[in-house]
Amino acid sequence: MTSLIDVIFLLLLFFMLSSTFSKFSEVELASSGAQGAGSGAGERALFLQVTPDALRLNTAELDIKVLSERLSQLEEGDSKLLLSLSGEVSSQRLTDVLVVLRAHPKLSFHILAPS
């Protein structure tokens, strides 16, 4: 007969090995509607290129830590951002960038499909 402590140890071991400790994020993605190119009269277009090791906002290379601050400086009223991804960008990197972009409610962004 197995002692109770052995059963508890096996259960503890099972739950420790079967659970994950990484942080998951959830990001809402919506498809773009049928809007024309000049839909907003006062909209300013920004371009963000995401690669596995760098970010470029309007050709200026920057780190993800200063992206929010830089967007706040460039954002004047409603702005539109085009997000371009290289083929090697991981889903975690994309999620990190999208979390930063979602913190700016006046910024609408569209993800360009890689060719």
Mean pLDDT, 10 residues at a time, the chain of 115 residues: 84 86 63 49 74 85 85 74 83 86 82 70
Dist. CA 17–CA 39, nearest whole Å: 52
Show the domain range for 48.
43-115
pTM: 0.59
36: which DSSP letter?
Answer: -
97 found inside a domain: yes
User: What is the model's pLDDT at position 93?
Assistant: 85
* Helices 67-74 + 91-102 axis angle, to 10: 40
In a domain, 58, yes or no: yes
Report the run of H or E that residue 57 belongs to, with start and end. strand 55-57
Residue 27, in any domain of the structure: no
- pLDDT at position 12, please? 92
Q: Does residue 17 form part of some domain?
A: no
Query: Which amino acid is located at 65 in the chain?
Result: K
What pLDDT score was predicted for residue 71?
80
Residues 6+ apart with CB under 8 A from 7: none
Look at residue 34 in the predicted model and tell me its pLDDT: 47
- In angstroms, the CA 62 to CA 50 distance is 10
pLDDT for residue 59: 80
Domain count for the chain: 1
What distance in Å separates the CA atoms of residue 104 and residue 97, rounded to the nearest whole number? 12
Residue 1 covered by a domain: no
